[in-house]
Amino acid sequence: MVRRSFFLSFADKSVGLVLAIATMAIVSRLLTPAEVGLFMVASSLVILIEAFRDFGVASFLIQERELTPELTRSATTLISVLSLALGLAVVLMAGLAAAVYEMPDLAALLRIAALAFLLAPISNPLLALMKRDMDFTSVARIGISAAALNSATTIGLAAAGFGAYSFAWGAVMGAVALSVGALLCRPEWWIFRPCLRHWRQILPFGTWTTVVTVVGMLFDAMPRLILGRVLGFGAVGLLSRAVSLTQLPEKVLLSAVPPVVLPALSAQVRLGAPISAPYLLGMSLITAIQWPALLCLALLADPIVRLLLGPQWLEVIPLVRIVAIAAMLLAPIYLAFSVLVALGRVRDMALVSLASLPVSAAAVLIAAPHGLAAVAWALFPANAANVLPMLVLVRRHVGFRWRDLGATVAKSAAASLGAAALPAALVVFNPGEMSVSLFALASLGALAGWAIALIATAHPLRAEVMAVLGSRIAGSRLAARQ
């Protein structure tokens, strides 16, 4: 059941990533770095406000031990009230944000983005109930449809000359698709009947979850918000594209993990089962996927930037090399939220996140006046300040041993070196611009070296891949016999 859910979640995220890459490649040739940077600042502000709007309702519905109809209605009513209030606040405060950044277009972008606040109370609770029931078939269909509409709208409007507004309208149309899809797949209208009887039960969980979410978003948005004020929107556009490229492994592979892990771990906790072994397995799988991909991305940054973004973005290349290596430190983050929420320790996570944020912010603030490269290098201490305290907190509640974690990730490190061997050799012996044929050879060599290393180290990922392939083959044979 869990493997099938991972497969469906992976399919959803993979298709979404392909569409996102296509959109990035096309739109980056139509818009300037300043236009991209303008939207990234607007989206960062909106995403931070969205964290308050969601109020942890989706996570609450997934992890709650005894979910009653009245509790579900109370959660839905709460998110509806918050969405309307915060959407109105975005509209009213858009002018102030535009004045702070001295950019009038920012106000219009924020007002367009506020339209999505009307739709979240429809899609969020219904999608959460589907995930709680492990109905990832429906979730995947809805997610793919929303991503397709978002990409089509963004590309179409960018080609028509709408500039940064194309991103905003694409996001709104994606929100429309999520809401319509959720209602079609799970038309449970009763959850929208107003009820606030259980708001006191939801409030503590929602408050601490919101703190965790907001702090996490601040970690991500902080460099963009600071650069927009210190170095301008062009710098924001360049750094944002570098970060977007380094997030590709997360979006195609690791983003499929949290939607499945939270309901699966919550079910384990409800049964009273320990989760140290599943946690270590999860860390093993995540690092075996993320680390090799980021290491190869750093080595092959030049041809990847030229292929996906085009010649006007060549300044991104050295930034990608730095940011990709810094992002390897973030591997433990992808399981931390799901584990701590499932264990009922979201308050502890919030407090640790609040303590870490000033350290990370200070690193970026100190580096910003010294240019983009300095900000990229500052992500090393910023990421470490975020991850290390969280890892200590997870260990305290999960109960794994440091040497077991070390043994787990050592195999992933070997897989990373195996994947990087041929790309590194090609870069060393061909220091100039890499041809398409050499890039293809480097990519295939990375995949082959990774697979050989997984087999040689008997990595747990190998067993998981074989189990998935075995179940798919068995299913195909059964279908053929019928």
pLDDT-derived band at 418 (thresholds 50, 70, 90) equals very high
* 195-204, 258-267, 343-352, 415-424, range with the lowest pLDDT: 258-267
Domain that holds residue 55: 1-197
**In 10 A of CB 480, how many CB atoms?**
7
Which two structure tokens, joined as six digits, stand for 361? 């912010």
Which residue is listed with tokens 């509806």? 80
Q: Are 257 and 2 spatial neighbours (Cβ–Cβ below 8 Å)? A: no
* 35-39, 91-95, 312-316, range with the lowest pLDDT: 35-39
Which amino acid does the sequence have at 298?
A: A
The reply to whether 426 falls in a domain is: no
477 pLDDT higher than 60: no
Q: Quick one: DSSP state of residue 141? A: H
Q: Are 186 and 126 spatial neighbours (Cβ–Cβ below 8 Å)? A: yes
Q: Which is nearest to 167 in space by CA: 75, 244, 261, 85?
A: 244
The reply to whether 43 falls in a domain is: yes
Which amino acid does the sequence have at 121?
A: P
Q: What is the pLDDT of residues 337-349, one digit of tens each?
A: 778 877 878 888 8
Q: Which of 15-19, 188-192, 208-212 has the highest mean pLDDT?
A: 188-192
* 63-77, 142-156, 256-270, range with the lowest pLDDT: 256-270
The reply to whether 132 falls in a domain is: yes
Q: What total of structural domains would you count in the chain?
A: 1
Which residue is listed with tokens 């929303």? 146
The predicted pLDDT at position 258 comes to 56
The reply to whether 13 falls in a domain is: yes
Mean pLDDT, to the nearest integer, of 156-166?
89
The reply to whether 27 falls in a domain is: yes
Q: What is the pLDDT of residues 63-79, one digit of tens each?
A: 777 788 888 898 889 88
Q: What is the pLDDT of residues 390-404, one digit of tens each?
A: 999 999 988 888 999
Q: Which is nearest to 287 in space by CA: 415, 465, 469, 404?
A: 415
Mean pLDDT, to the nearest integer, of 178-188?
92
The reply to whether 162 falls in a domain is: yes
Q: Which is nearest to 107 in space by CA: 116, 97, 119, 115?
A: 97
Q: Are 100 and 226 spatial neighbours (Cβ–Cβ below 8 Å)? A: no
Mean pLDDT, to the nearest integer, of 44-52?
70
The reply to whether 191 falls in a domain is: yes
The reply to whether 91 falls in a domain is: yes
Q: Which is nearest to 376 in space by CA: 363, 385, 387, 388?
A: 363
Predicted TM-score (pTM) of the model is: 0.67
